[in-house]
A and B are shown apart, each in its own frame.
Chain A
Amino acid sequence: MKRKTLRTLAAAAGVVAALAGAGSALAQAKEQFVPVLVYRTGPYAPNGTPWANGFVDYLKLVNARDGGIGGVKIIWEECETGYATDRGVECYERLKGKGPTGAAAFNPLSTGITFALTDKALVDKIPIVTMGYGRSESADGEAFPYNFPLLGSYWVAADILVQHLGKVNGGLDKLRGKKVALVYHDSPFGREPIPLLQERGKMHGFELTTLPVTHPGVEQKAAWLQIRQSRPDYVLLWGWGVMNAAAIREAVATGFPRDRMYGVWWAGAEPDVTPVGADAKGYHALALQHGAGISKVHQDILKQVHDKGQGTGPKDEVGQVLYTRGMMNAMLVVEGIKRAQDRYGKKPLKGEEVRWGLENLTLTQDKLDALGFAGVMRPVTTVCRDHQGSQWGRVHTWDGAKWNFSSDWYEADMSILRPMIRKTADAYLAEKKLTRRDCAADVAAQGAAAKK
C-alpha cells in the first residue's frame, strides 16, 4: 500500500516537472509557430476534419516546396476545441507562447471562440484570422486592430444571398412581399446575419422569420413545423456540422423544395449533402470565394505532400470544399507572415509583426496565379481601415454528385454594410471603454520609419 503511494507521488512529481518544463521557451530556432485550433471530434467533426487537414497540408506544402517562409520553417501544433468556447480559450492559452516567438496568428474556426479571444488577443498582440466567419463588425480595423475577417463575414454572406434572391426574381424590388425564413444554429454564429437580413428586409419589403435550432441541431422538428405552416418562399440555412444534413432531411420530409434553400458557406460542403443522397439535389449554398475542384495548388499538395506519404487526411479529400477552405486560410496566414517578413526581415516574427503583414496584404491575381490559386479566389487587398480585404462570393448548387457554380460573382453592397459595421464597432468600443485607433497616423508613422 505504502509503496503504491510512493509511486503515485513520484508520478505526480514527474507530471509537475513536465509542466514546469513545458512553460520554458524552446531554443531560439529559425522556426515560425502557427497554432492550429481544430475539431476532429464531436458533432462538428465531419466538417472540422477536412478543414484542419487542408490547413495542415498547406503548411506541409510550404515547408516541402519553398523550405518554409523565406527560409523560416513553419512549425505547428493542433489543439482540439470540440467547437466548445471554454476549450478554445484553453487551447489559446496553451499555444500562444509556443515556438521561438509565440503564436503567429490564431484561426479559431468558431464564432463563439472568436468572441472570447478578441479581448485576449488585443492584450497579447496576436492576430485572430476569421476567414468568412467571426464578428462581422471586426472588419473595422480601427476598432479591432487584431481581428481579420478576411474574405468577408456573415453580413457579407447574407448580403450576397439576398442579392442572389433578387436576381433570381428579376430584381431586388421583386422581393417585396416575399417570405424568407432563416433557420439558424442558435449560437453567435447563427445570430450574426440577423441584423443585416432585417435591414435588407426593410429595404426591399420581404418578410423575415427567424427560426432558431439548438446545438447541435439534430432535432429541428419545431422549426420545420413552422415552415410547413407559414410556407416561406425561401429558406436560408445558417447551419454547421450535423445540423445541415438534418435540415435537408427535414426539408424532404416537409416537402420544401431543395432548390429554394440557400446555405451559408458553412452549410455548403460535401459532408452536408452526401448523407442525404439524391434528395439533396438542387440545394444551393454560398461559396465565399471558392468551390470544389482541383487547381494547381491542389496538384502541388498531391505531388509534394500526399505522394510522399505525408498527407494529413485521405487523398480523395483534396479538392473538397472545406479542405480548400482550410488550405486557403493557411495560405492567407502564410502570405501575411511573408508580407511581414518584407518589413521586419526573414526571421521568426512576433504576432504583432504578423499583424502588420496581414494588414498590408496585396494579393494580386498574378501573385495568386504564382501560388497556384488561379481560379480558386479573387485578389485580396487589406488596409488598416478594412480588415476584410474582399467581399465577393458566388452561389453553387449540388447536382447529386458534386457542387457546380450556378451564379456569377456578387459583391456585397458595402454602402449598406459599412454604416452597420461602424455602428456596431462603435458600440463595442464604448462598452469596452476603448478608443478608436488612428489609421492615418499609424500609416504616417510607418512611412517615417521606412524612410529612416
Chain B
Amino acid sequence: MLYRENGQFKTSYAADQQLLPIVQDRFFVWGLVLLAFVAVPLFASDYWFRALIVPFLILSIAAIGLNILVGYCGQISLGHAGFMAVGAYAAYNLVVRVPEVNFLLALVVAGAAAALVGVFFGIPSLRIKGLYLSVATLAAQFFLDWVFIRVKWFTNYSPSGSVSTSPVELFGWVIDAPRDKYWFVLAIVVVMTVAAKNLTRGAIGRSWMAIRDMDVAAEVIGIRPMHAKLTAFAVSAFFAGVAGALWGFVHLGAWEPLAFNVNLSFNLLFMIIIGGMGSILGSFFGAAFIVVLPLLLNQIPEWFGIPLSTAAISHLEFMIFGALIVLFLIAEPHGLARLWAIGKEKLRLWPFPH
C-alpha cells in the first residue's frame, strides 16, 4: 500500500539512473542515515559503541571490499585479513614516522598500500580460478602474517611485536570518546558504501560481473580480463586496507599481528556468504550477524537470570551460533540480502497478495 511506485514517472535519464529510483527507498535510506547519525548516539551506551557498533561498522567496510572481489568479480580470496593488516601497518608506520600527517591521508595511504599488495597477490588470478585461487590468496595471508611478525621495522622495533597508537586527531577533533569514534567511522562507512554502490553499477562493475558470470564470453564481447580482475583486486584490497587501519587505530588502539590472522579472513568470507554475495547491503547484514550475534548469545542467559557456568555459556554460544548459520543457509542460500529483497517484493503486494 505504502511501498508502491505507482505514479512515479521518470522524465530524464538522470532520474532513471539514480541510486535509489523509488521515492520510498530514498526516504527510508535518508531516514536511516539520520537515525544513525542523530538518534543512535542519543541512546546507545558506551558498551554498545565499543563492543558492538564500531566493530560492526568497520568490518562492514572490509566485507564490502571482499564482496566486490568475491561476490561481484567471482574471485575467491582468503587473504583479506592480510590486506587489512597491510592497511593497519601502513597507516601505523606513516603516523609513527611522520607524526604531523592528517589521519584521513593516512587512511588513503593505508588503502593504497593494501591495493598495491592486493594487485600483486591478484596476479595469479589471471591464470587460476576457484579453489586454486583461494589457496593462492591463503598463501598471501600467511606471508603477510609472517612479514608483520618477523620484520621488526613494521612494528617499529617493539620488543613483543605489539604496536599501539595514540588517539586519532582530525583538525583538532580528538577521536577518543566512543561516540566520536562512532561518528567518524560512520561517516567513512557512508562514503565508502556510496562509492562501492556506484562502482558496482558503473561500467567497471559490469565488467566485473561479466567476468564472474563467464569469463570467456566476457572476453569475446571485449572486456579485458586482466584489467577487470586486477581492478577488482585493487578496489577490494583498498576497502580492506581502510578497514584495517580503522580496526587498528579506532577500534583496538593497540594490536599484534595476531589481530589480523586467518580467522578474520574466514570470518569476512562467512559474512558475505551469510549476508549475500554480490550485494552491498548483504555485507552489512553479514557483518552484523557475525559480530553482534555471538555477543548477544553470550549475554542472553544473564539477562534472563539463568544461572549457567561461564564454560557452559560459551559452549552454548558456539553451538547455537553454528546451528543458526546452517539454518539460515538452508532457509535462504542466497543470504540475508535475498530475504530482504523477498520482504520488499512482498511489501509491494501487501495487503492484497494474489
Q: Do A and B come from one complex?
A: yes
Contacts of B45 in A (CB 8 A): 23
Q: Pick the contact of A40 from B55, B160, B311 — CB < 8 Å?
A: B311
- Contact at A80–B159, with CB atoms within 8 Å? no
Q: Mark A200-220, 1 if CB is under 8 A from B, else 0.
A: 000000000000100100000
Q: Pick the contact of A15 from B296, B298, B309, B315 — CB < 8 Å?
A: B296
- Contact at A85–B259, with CB atoms within 8 Å? yes
Q: Mark B158-192, 1 if CB is under 8 A from A, else 0.
A: 01111011100000000010000000000000000
Contacts of B253 in A (CB 8 A): 116, 119-120
Q: Mark B251-295, 1 if CB is under 8 A from A, else 0.
A: 011111011000000000000000000000000000000000001
Contacts of B55 in A (CB 8 A): 86
Residue among B48, B298, B304, B314 with most chain A CB within 10 A: B314
Q: Does B13 contact A (CB under 8 A)?
A: no
- Contact at A115–B164, with CB atoms within 8 Å? yes
- Contact at A93–B50, with CB atoms within 8 Å? yes
> A82 and B314 in contact (CB under 8 A), knowing A93-B47, A111-B160, A191-B160?
yes
Per the bound structure, the CA–CA distance linking A191 and B51 in Å amounts to 28
Q: What is the interface residue range for chain A against chain B?
A: 35 or more
- Contact at A191–B96, with CB atoms within 8 Å? no
- State the Cβ distance, B256 to closest chain A Cβ, in Å: 5
Q: Does A89 contact B (CB under 8 A)?
A: yes
- Contact at A188–B252, with CB atoms within 8 Å? no
Q: What is the interface residue range for chain B against chain A?
A: 35 or more
* Chain B positions 285-325 with a Cβ under 8 Å from a chain A Cβ: 295-296, 298-300, 303-304, 309-311, 313-315, 318
- State the Cβ distance, B324 to closest chain A Cβ, in Å: 14
Q: Does B46 contact A (CB under 8 A)?
A: yes
- State the Cβ distance, B142 to closest chain A Cβ, in Å: 10
Q: Pick the contact of B166 from A82, A187, A424, A431 — CB < 8 Å?
A: A431
- Contact at A119–B164, with CB atoms within 8 Å? yes
Q: Does B149 contact A (CB under 8 A)?
A: yes
Per the bound structure, the CA–CA distance linking A85 and B149 in Å amounts to 17
Per the bound structure, the CA–CA distance linking A112 and B315 in Å amounts to 23
Contacts of A187 in B (CB 8 A): 256, 258
* Chain B positions 138-168 with a Cβ under 8 Å from a chain A Cβ: 149, 156, 159-162, 164-166
- State the Cβ distance, A118 to closest chain B Cβ, in Å: 7
Q: Does A79 contact B (CB under 8 A)?
A: yes
- State the Cβ distance, A340 to closest chain B Cβ, in Å: 25
Contacts of A93 in B (CB 8 A): 46-47, 50-51
**Could you write out 15 A-B pairs with CB less than 8 Å apart?**
A22-B303, A38-B310, A41-B311, A41-B314, A41-B318, A93-B46, A115-B254, A116-B254, A119-B164, A187-B258, A188-B162, A191-B159, A191-B161, A424-B159, A432-B166
Known: A22-B303, A192-B160, A194-B159. 11 other contacts (CB 8 A): A15-B303, A41-B315, A80-B310, A85-B255, A93-B47, A93-B50, A97-B46, A188-B256, A189-B160, A191-B160, A192-B159
